[in-house]
Homo-oligomer: A and B are copies of this chain.
Amino acid sequence: MKNILHYSNKNIGLLGLGTVGKAVYDEIFTNISSVLVKNLTKSRNIELSNVKITNNFQDILQDKNVETIIELIGGETPAYEYIKESIKSKKNVITANKEVMAKYGKELLELATKNKVFLLYEASVAGGIPIISPIIKDLSANEFKSVRGIINGTTNYILTKMSRENLELIEVLKEAQDLGYAESDPTSDIEGFDAQYKISILSRLAFNSDVSLDQIYLEGISSIKSKDFDYANELGYTIKLLATASINSNELLLVKVHPALIPNDVPMASVNGVLNAVEIDGDLVGTLWFQGAGAGAKATASSVLSDLIRIRNSDVQSIVNHKKTYKITSMDKHFCQYYLRLNVSDKPGVLASIAKEFGERNISISSVLQKDLYENGSADLVIMTYPSIEKDMQASIKKITNLESVFNIESMIRVESYK
């Protein structure tokens, strides 16, 4: 638990204690006054002794302490009514509900403006990836040409696995369900409804146009077969469920969700598994790319809680910074692999003498390439080390430079770690 809000008021009402609800609860339970659950007697693996638990929404609505309601029930009913009633009662609302924001977003946002409360919903599209706020704020000077992306993690997981393991959808789906990546009723993901809700929300923001769901072309992934991946690959493509909203040459907006072949050599083709990615094209900024975890309890909580801080900061005059500070370390202690290129004498024993110096500092060699024998009897020697400490490497280099058989250390480049 972080003290994200930097105060101890219990002014938050939480609707829903599913996976995202629990993740949010874990981070801010000291600020939660009451929690709405469906089933009061269900055993939950969390400590709930300091909050009011209820299965009656009116209890939360009438809790005078509650200034902000976080809605994490999902689905249209009863979430839509709860959000509406909360706003009418002058409570701020944070929601991850794409279905409600797609179907009733315009109405609810207007209602929030009228009631002078916040309605924030960054978590409703692409989980933890900031996409709603960048479109509204950071890129607000742009006219957009297109927004397109992979915004449903379940289908992307399924398509990735079909592609890699030569399996049919039905086989992969069962496994995805067992792993919790797909719902027991997977219709909303497989048939593209989930992506349709999300692209509807993004379209409203990027193009300032209210796009109803029946105006969005929709095709799910249920007809894709394993062999399609083989053939697509032979042609240089892979297959993804893509949601796009774009302006055509007649200044008309087309919004659609369907499986698409993606050339293997563009970044979208490498968005695999449950990852999400959104590509935005603006008249000033050009093409921007956002990629990250599109779902998951913690990633979604990241957006919900950052929205909460946004509301908190608007309430106080100066922005309170809750983050801890860090001391600075030096490069000396950095630990990584190294690539070295040396110009050496082409005689036996050179590598041994270098390896000996490295050995003194516990630096091990991972690969060696012997290159380009020159007329003067020297040769290039390329060495890749195992991860080592910078200070040791620098000390070794000094020693190695002084070896008689080493004419020059021409390059030392650190290898970036991706674990």
Contacts and interface: CB of A to CB of B under 8 A. Distances in A.
A232 interface: yes
Interface in A352-366: none
A141 B286 contact: no
Given A4-B141, A284-B299, A284-B301, A328 B223 contact: no
A416 interface: yes
Most buried by B among A130, A217, A310: A130
A182 interface: no
Most buried by B among A260, A268, A308: A260
Contact of A239 (B208, B292, B301, B413): B413
Interface string A302-324: 11111011100000001001011
Nearest to A221: B413
Given A305-B141, A310-B140, A413 B260 contact: yes
Copies in the complex: 2
A143 B260 contact: no
Interface stretch (A80-88, A191-199, A243-251): A243-251
A207 interface: yes
Interface residues of A, number: 111
A261 B143 contact: no
Interface stretch (A41-49, A66-74, A131-139, A164-172): A131-139
Interface string A206-234: 01110100010100000111011001101
Contact of A411 (B128, B137, B225, B324): B225
A51 interface: no
A170 to B, nearest CB: 16
A384 interface: yes
Contact of A130 (B139, B228, B283): B139
Sorted nearest first, the 3 A-B pairs with minimum C-beta distance are: A130-B138, A141-B305, A252-B329
Nearest to A132: B138
Given A209-B328, A255-B328, A299 B285 contact: yes
Interface stretch (A54-62, A96-104, A331-339): A331-339
Interface of A: 2, 4, 27, 113, 122, 128-130, 133-134, 137-143, 148, 207-209, 211, 215, 217, 223-225, 227-228, 231-232, 234-235, 237, 239-240, 242, 244, 247-248, 250-256, 258-263, 266-268, 270, 282-293, 296, 298-299, 301-306, 308-310, 318, 321, 323-331, 333-334, 337, 339, 341, 367, 369, 371-372, 380, 382, 384, 410-411, 413-416, 418
Contacts of A138: 122, 130, 133-134, 303, 306
Nearest to A310: B137
A372 to B, nearest CB: 8
Contact of A416 (B260, B285, B318, B325): B260
B326 A305 contact: no
Given A231-B341, A231-B382, A384-B235, A141 B326 contact: no
Contacts of A321: 208
Given A138-B130, A140-B306, A141-B308, A339 B298 contact: no
Contacts of A239: 413
Most buried by B among A228, A237, A284: A284
A223 to B, nearest CB: 7
Contact of A286 (B266, B290, B293): B293
Given A234-B369, A260-B415, A285 B293 contact: yes
B227 A113 contact: no
